[in-house]
Amino acid sequence: MNCLLDTHTLLWYLQNSENLSDRATEILEDANNNLSVSIASLWEISIKLGLGKLRLQKSFSELEEVLQQLKIGVLPITFALYRVLPELTPPSSRSV
């Protein structure tokens, strides 16, 4: 299954947060699933860190390596993505 993680899901997963459901954790840890995050989520994290509204266990500069270790791909924002957005399920169902 292809899974696009939203910003909160990514942060909760990285921080082993109790906010992440058991089912979501199972999906994220299933090696058969392809995990991805949008570059927009990384931009959002960077902004929140800069404003002092977010803390990470590791530095932002280490995030790329962490994502590689977890096999979470980073997707660019493209017009192709915007073309398929209306066809996706409701926003509340788009993330894990």
DSSP-derived secondary structure letter, 84:
H
How far is Cα 11 from Cα 21, in angstroms, rounded to an integer? 13
Least confident of 17-21, 43-47, 56-60, 84-88: 84-88
Torsion of CA 6, 11, 17, 20, to 10 degrees: 10
pLDDT at 40 over 80: yes
pTM, 2 dp: 0.76
pLDDT band for position 96 (50/70/90)? very low
Model pLDDT, residue 73: 95
Architecture of domain 2-87: 3-Layer(aba) Sandwich (3.40)
**Which pLDDT does position 58 carry in this prediction?**
81
| Contacts of the segment 39-47: beta carbons below 8 A, 24+ positions apart | 39/74, 39/75, 39/76, 39/77, 40/77, 41/5, 41/6, 41/7, 41/10, 42/74, 44/7, 45/7, 45/10, 45/11
DSSP assignment letter at 56: -
For residue 17, pLDDT beyond 80: yes
| The predicted structure's pLDDT at residue 22 | 92
Q: How many CA atoms lie less than 13 Å away from 56 in the CB half-sphere?
A: 20
Q: Return the pLDDT at 92.
A: 52
Residue 70: pLDDT above 90?
Answer: yes
